[in-house]
Each structure stands twice: as structure tokens, then as C-alpha cells.
Amino acid sequence: MKVYETKDIRNIALIGGAKSGKTTMAEAMVFEGKIINRKGSVDDKNTVSDYRAIEIDRQHSVHSSLLYTVFNNKKINIVDVPGFSDYVGEAAAALNVCDTALFMINGQSGVEATTETAWKQTEIAKCPTFFVVNQLDHHGANFNETIVALKDYFGEKVTVVQYPVNAGEGFNTVIDLILMKQLKFGAEGGEPEITDIPDSEKDKAEELHLTLVENAAEGDETLMEKYFENDTLTLEEIRTGVRLGLISRSIFPVLCSSVKHGIGVTRIMDFITNSCPAPDDMPERNTEDGVAFKCNVNQPTAIFVFKTSIEQHLGEVLFFKVYGGAVTEGLDLVNPKNGNKERISQMFVLNGKTREKVDKVVAGDIAITIKLKEVRTSDTLMVPKSAKAGFEPIKFPVDIFTVAMKAVNSSDDEKIGAVLNEMHRTDPTIIVEYSRELKQMLVKTQGEFHLNTIKWYLQNVHKIDAETTTPKIPYRETITKVANADYRHKKQSGGSGQFGEVHLRIMPYVEGYKNPTDIPLRGTDVHELSWGGKLVFNNSIVGGAIDARFLPAIFKGIMERMNEGPLTGSYARDIVVYIYDGKMHPVDSNEISFKLAGRHAFITAFKAAGPKIMEPINDIEISVPEDTMGAVMTDLQGRRGIIMGMDAAGRNQIIRAKVPAAEMTRYATSLSAITSGRGTFKSAFDQYQQVPNDVQEQLLKAYEESQNEEE
């Protein structure tokens, strides 16, 4: 395959809402570039992009796909990104390396919830973005309303570059405001017939052209001066202004299409090659220690891995973009993260599952490689002399939906863990962790749809039946007052017996607490608990009632119950213990006796010390449309939430609240239902607070029932 220079490469992320036509657009672009000789369709399940079994089964994209096409002697790399919000991690990765986002809009439904989600990712990535209003051949399409909605949501810099002459059934003609020509497409698309703008459209075209020229001129001072001098700009100057405006995100052009029939595709590709930035037009990318790469062949060789995939017959596949120099087969690079040397043995360019071997990839281009040892998504590989720090990693969205998962068949327990960890490597937004406290494997995702994808792979590819449940809540147990207790452990069963008696006092730990005056203090050990809080263990023994060698055993018995609290089996915290008396036997006393005596004395004292269950409270920040704010707040109050404040953020309202973690189960699904998919939220642990009495009674009852079932 021809090696394209950096200036002749365009990297496009195909993004947008579900069912907006992204996969069909990718197919049409590859066809018009003559890379394939026959167009597939989503309905026929034979597109280049959606080639995986799950995508064929579901008839929508689940993973991003890498494709390329050629137009105007330029190579266009295309990353086709899934439209559903649950796959937002794929969008984050693609926008991190692509130099322009081609944002598909459904001309019938306009701005949708998934449109807003994708837009937020372009803002985070600061990615140049242009819109294509698609499906204009449908009788329900309304271009003007769509433009109003785009400006309403995304600002006045949304700029019409094309508009349809005959939107609706039979749509085939657009007015192009850069070329200032009318374009009429054939029944199957292809190159349009270009004619002068008819008199009936001239006034409208002139008005919109003026707005386009003004917005294009704002991207550069020199262009602005030329505009003031000449009252217009040349074709090349408009293209330059659009390109600079795209880079600074001061202009968001809008084009038209009916991709299903190929209408508008060649002109969109012409726009990409003439008006969208090449990789070396883009701002520098910095390494974590501040070294800037401008994306050209004169820089030291450096590549960034933005995606990992497992492909049949290839194994682990790493998708990368070259940010400096050129990569050739046999080149040795170093991973700054771990210092490992990695050899690039083979490289390919992709069109879906079709791969083509290449010997050289230059700065700005995107390709894949295989058979690397210890390389993950967001890793950097560099020539040894430059390998001090990698590029800043991709900022993936935090998880919002958590379930506990286990294999139905216990013999698959080990296998399911390995499979889920492999899924995390290919999709970093899938988080898998085993909670020793809860004794559950937790799977954290971007939503229920995302979770169902995991289940599909487990069942259909790995033949594992898995079940999911609501995760347990990591409650804490503590006390609210002082209590004394004693316990004698005595056992005689032939030979040496067991004897140990412990008297202890417990009290709540708070900052600045005071030791009691009625018992002495001979030694104090403060233990910072790994799950939060403290255990203060005091030796108050006088007169040798208990030998000092038995104190560690008493402490061990108490710690066993701190690990598994007396109320619900949750961790206990913030307790001060005084061991102030007891008895020994000269023959029968031993460590196990005092461990058991200490443990039982602690349980008795704990239950008499005003025990209280504490629950985790989360700080929640929710972004919702203003018209749904009342319903969202009512729902929060039903979840024992406390509203802390509200702010406006563009069209949305931001609600800040504190909500018990126990009440946030499947909140992502509930919020989506209340807001028709437009609400988003983020959550972070804040603190532990005592649960209300009625909730505590429910928890105690549930724990008692579970213990009875186990017996």
C-alpha cells in the first residue's frame, strides 16, 4: 500500500446517536473511495464496519471499527464509533486520536439524548467537529428544525455549509455554500451534477453564504482583514478559515446527506480532504513530563495505543497512532511506563475485519500491530532515547452502574474472572474487582445495556452462564456509649483444659476522647483500620490478673469481631477497648482460651453499648434538562437524598445532593427513564453516617434471617 505523507492524511471519528447512520456512512465512504466494489447494509448484516457476531446479531455497532478510504489522493482513516451512550468509552478513545469528528444527526429526530452524550466527549477531547444531517430523504425529515435545535444546544457557531433543496422523499439536491453551486446527485449517489444556483434559491444562499464567510474569517486575523477589505473571501480562503475554525472549535459546519442512497457522500469526503485539518495542523500533544510532539516525521518516533481488541486468528490487536517519526517492521521501541522493549514485528491497515499488511507507517497515520508483550490501551511506545514519559492517557468516563456477578456453575468461577479481566483490557470502562469485604465480584459498567453486552459474550463466546445481583452495601458498625462486660471461657475434656476470663470496657472513639479515671492505663496501641476508623486497645491490667503474653490473643479475638461486626457482619470501627481485669489458670490457660474470652466479652459489651449501623453516603452531581428537574428531585427525596444545591449549566440544571449508597442501586436506569435518556450523573463516596432506626431494624432482621438460612 502507498505510504501517505502526514499532510495527506485525515483522521475522522464517526460519532453520533444510535441509528443516525454512522455505519452506513462508513460503508459509503469506503465504497466511494473504491476500496470495496459493493456496498453492504446494516439490514443485510454485511457491512465492512459491523462485522462481529454480536453486531450482526443486534444490528448495531458495539465496538469501534477502523477503516480507511482514499479521496482526492488523500487517505482518510475512519473510526466508526457505536452510538449508544453505554459505549461512550469507545468515543473517548477515538476522539483522543482523531483530528476531526464527523457528527451524524438523524434528520427526522434531530438532537437526541445520545447526541448530547457524544457532544460532551468532543468537548472533553477538544476535537474539531462538523455535523452531517442525514436521512433527509425521509418524509419526516426537517432540516430547518434540526438547525434550530443544533444551535439551541451547541451554540451559534453551528454554521450551515449545505442545505437541502428538496428534503423529503426524492431528496437529491443541495445548495453548497462553500462552492456556491447547486449539487444534484444521482439515484445511487456518486459525483453530483454541479450547476449554478437557481434564482429561487439565490437570496437564501447569499444570506447563508455571508454567515459562513463571516464565521470562517473569525478563525484568523489575516482572513478577517481580507474580509473587511474585499467583503468576501476566495474559495481557498474560506476553506482555510473553516479549517482554522474547526481546530479552535469556533465553527461547527453542517452538511447534508442521505447516506443510504449515497447522496452527499462524495461532497462530504471532498470537504474532509479540503477543509478538515491534517494531523500536523493540530495542536501539539504533550507527554506526561511536558515534552510536546507536533505530529511530524522529524520528531523522534513515538506511537500511542488507543484501543485493544481480540480478533479471531490474530489474538490481541493494538490500534495505534504515530505522533512522531515513522514506524517500520522490526523497529524496537520502549514503553516508558515499565521500561520494556517491544519489537514491532507486523503492521496492518484495516477495513473492518479485512487487513492489509504495511511496511511503514508515518506520523499522523493510524494502523494496528500484534504480538506485543506488555502493552495496554493508553500506553506509549518510543525510541529508547526519548522514552522518559508517555503521552497523557485517555480520560475514560467513570462507571455508573454496578452489579455483583458470579458463575452459575461454581466450576466456572476462575474462568469468569479471567474472561472479565480480558474484557477490561479491550474496554477499560468495564471495571472488575473482587471485594473481600462483601465477598462478591463487582462488575462496574456504563449502564445496563453495557452489562448486557458482557453477558452476551460470556454466554455466546465463552459458554459461561452468569448471574447478577445487587451488590451488598459496605456498612460499618460502631457504638454510641460506654459498656462493660466479662466472659469466662472454660472447657474440660480430658487432659489439659481451657480457661480464660476477660473483663473489658468499650467506649466510642472520637477525637479528643478522655480516658476513664476509675481504671489505670498501662499501655495503649492505636490501630488504623484498613476499612476506615480506629481501634484503640488499652492494657489496664494490674496485679498480674492476666499475664501480658495473653494480651495479643485477646486483641486477636476482638479483631475477629471488628472484621465481622456483631450486628450485620460488617466491619466495626471507632472503638476504644480497655482490658482491666480477668483470671488465669496455672495449667489450663492458653492463647486460644483468652482469644475466645476476649471475643465473647467484646460481643456482649458491643451489644450493650448503643450499637449503631453506619452507611456510606455519596456525593451526587446530576445534570438534567430543566423540565425534568422536579421529577428528579422528587425521586432523590424518595431515596433519602438531601439536596445540597443547584446551578445552571447551559441548557441543563446541575443538582448536587447527598444520597445513601444503598439507595443508588440501578440509579443510572432510573435517571434515564425520568429524563428520557438526557440525564447524567457522577457519584463519589463522601462519608459514613448512622442509618435511621427503621432502616437499622430492617438490616438487623435481614441479617438474622440470612444467618438462620445458613444454619
Question: Could you tell me if 146 and 243 lie in one domain?
Answer: yes
Q: Which residues 6+ apart lie within 8 Å of 512 measured at CB?
A: none
Tell me: the pLDDT tens digits for 582-638?
Answer: 999 988 889 999 999 999 999 999 999 999 999 999 999 999 999 999 999 999 999
Residue 700 lies in a domain: no
Question: Could you tell me if 96 and 178 lie in one domain?
Answer: yes
How much of the chain exceeds pLDDT 70, in percent? 99
Amino acid 245: pLDDT: 96
Is the model's pLDDT at 674 over the cut of 60? Answer: yes
User: Which of 415, 413, 469 has its CA nearest to residue 442?
Assistant: 469
β-pairing verdict for 100-106 and 129-134: parallel
Cβ burial of 148 (10 Å; 0-12, 13-18, 19+) is middle
Q: What is the mean pLDDT of residues 419-430?
A: 95
Distance CA 315, CA 309 (A): 8
Is the model's pLDDT at 664 over the cut of 60? Answer: yes
Distance CA 31, CA 334 (A): 38
Question: Could you tell me if 269 and 155 lie in one domain?
Answer: yes
Question: Could you tell me if 676 and 574 lie in one domain?
Answer: no
Is the model's pLDDT at 365 over the cut of 80? Answer: yes
Cell of 534: 480506629
Q: What is the mean pLDDT of residues 421-437?
A: 94
Q: Which residues 6+ apart lie within 8 Å of 544 measured at CB?
A: none
- Of 429, 445, 469, the residue that ends a domain is 469
Tell me: the pLDDT tens digits for 11-47?
Answer: 999 999 888 999 999 999 999 999 998 888 888 888 8
Amino acid 587: pLDDT: 84
Kindly report the backbone phi and psi dihedral angles of residue 472, in degrees, each rounded to the nearest multiple of 5, phi listed first: -65, 160
Q: What is the mean pLDDT of residues 398-425?
A: 94
What is the DSSP annotation of 257-324?
-BGGGTBTHHHHHHHHHHHSPPGGGSPPEEBTTS-EE-SBTTSPPEEEEEEEEEETTTEEEEEEEEEE
Q: How far apart are the first and last CA of the chain?
A: 69
- Of 610, 627, 654, the residue that ends a domain is 610
Residue 288 lies in a domain: no
Distance CA 401, CA 403 (A): 7
Question: Could you tell me if 78 and 164 lie in one domain?
Answer: yes
Q: Give the number of domains in the chain.
A: 5
Q: What is the mean pLDDT of residues 401-413?
A: 94
Cβ burial of 176 (10 Å; 0-12, 13-18, 19+) is buried
Amino acid 59: pLDDT: 84
Tell me: the pLDDT tens digits for 162-181?
Answer: 999 999 999 999 999 999 99
Residue 270 lies in a domain: yes
Residue 395 lies in a domain: no
Of all helices (H) and strands (E), which one includes residue 154? helix 143-154
Residue 3 lies in a domain: no
Q: Exposure string (b/e) for 134-147, b if CB count within 10 Å is 16 or more?
A: bbbbbeebbbeebb
Question: Could you tell me if 258 and 306 lie in one domain?
Answer: no
* Residue for grid cell 430492617: 698
Calculate the average pLDDT of the chain.
93
Q: Are 25 and 76 within 8 A, CB to CB?
A: no
Amino acid 581: pLDDT: 96
pLDDT top residue among 105 and 313? 105
Which domain CATH number covers 523? 3.30.230.10
Question: Could you tell me if 435 and 520 lie in one domain?
Answer: no
Question: Could you tell me if 33 and 177 lie in one domain?
Answer: yes
Q: Structure pTM?
A: 0.89
Question: Could you tell me if 486 and 556 lie in one domain?
Answer: yes
Is the model's pLDDT at 327 over the cut of 90? Answer: yes
pLDDT top residue among 179 and 706? 179
Residue 509 lies in a domain: yes
Cell of 680: 447524567
Range of the domain at 447: 401-469
Question: Could you tell me if 132 and 85 lie in one domain?
Answer: yes
Which domain CATH number covers 81? 3.40.50.300
Which domain CATH number covers 426? 3.30.70.870
Question: Could you tell me if 571 and 623 lie in one domain?
Answer: no
Residue 595 lies in a domain: yes
Split at pLDDT 50, 70, 90, the class of 710 is low
Between vectors from CA 590 to CA 588 and to CA 592, what angle results, nearest 5°?
120
Tell me: the pLDDT tens digits for 289-321?
Answer: 999 999 999 999 999 999 999 887 788 999 999
Residue 464 lies in a domain: yes
Amino acid 494: pLDDT: 65
Question: Could you tell me if 96 and 175 lie in one domain?
Answer: yes
